[in-house]
A and B are shown apart, each in its own frame.
Chain A
Amino acid sequence: KNEVEQSPQNLTAQEGEFITINCSYSVGISALHWLQQHPGGGIVSLFMLSSGKKKHGRLIATINIQEKHSSLHITASHPRDSAVYICAVSPYPKLIFGTGTLLAVQP
């Protein structure tokens, strides 16, 4: 069993829909990261959180440390949100990555 599990693996949505991607982990962590990887490969760090909730524009990330679970929400999704979203956890000093969720937002 992977130490970091993401669901769903693939997600297709219509423009404007509310999207949720889930991440569960089984190790003790100091922080959890949500990353975005576009076709072509470059990775952008969206959030780093260790408790509660963070919001940036249309993106919201939450974490429940007791349940070892995090969610990434995208409100009013847009085709430019199409990418792979990766959850990574930080049992210092390394990062352990989930396998990613491929999101396709159709116009």
Chain B
Amino acid sequence: GAVVSQHPSRVICKSGTSVKIECRSLDFQATTMFWYRQFPKQSLMLMATSNEGSKATYEQGVEKDKFLINHASLTLSTLTVTSAHPEDSSFYICSARALADSYNEQFFGPGTRLTVL
């Protein structure tokens, strides 16, 4: 099956620093990648939809200047949490949808656990 990787898997940073998370589709081209956030014991919440070569579409309530998304190629999207604060500590998961997929099958990455001290 299709494989999506994320890096890093775990990161601890100081408040005020920026953290970049990479999401890669390893064996397929992804026109669209999705970024989710999951707080403990809660379901996944969509943060933004990222289309290759265009600006990301953010969900209501998600600050686009704080969560910078870049989708520079068909296999790579990055999420940068700028000036991170403890309340940004969460589990961040990306997913990718293959070219010409009309059923919205998404392949999920393993997630990145961010802890902001």
Contact indicator per residue, chain A 93-105, by CB within 8 Å of chain B (1) or not (0): 1110111100000
- Closest chain-A Cβ to B24's Cβ sits at a distance in Å of 15
Within 8 Å by CB of A99, from B43, B93, B104, lies B43
The 5 A-B pairs at the shortest CB distance, nearest first, are namely A42-B110, A43-B108, A90-B104, A41-B111, A97-B43
> In the assembly, what is the distance between CA of A42 and CA of B95, in Å?
11
> Which interface class (under 10, 10 to 19, 20 to 34, 35 or more) fits A?
20 to 34
Chain A residues at the B interface, C-beta cutoff of 8 Å: 30-31, 33, 35, 41-45, 48, 50, 86, 90, 92-95, 97-100
Q: Which of A30, A31, A41, A97 has the most CB of B within 10 A?
A: A41
Count of CB-CB pairs between chains A and B under 8 Å: 57
B38 to A, closest residue via Cβ? A41
Given the contacts A43-B93, A86-B43, A94 and B108 also touching, CB distance less than 8 Å? no
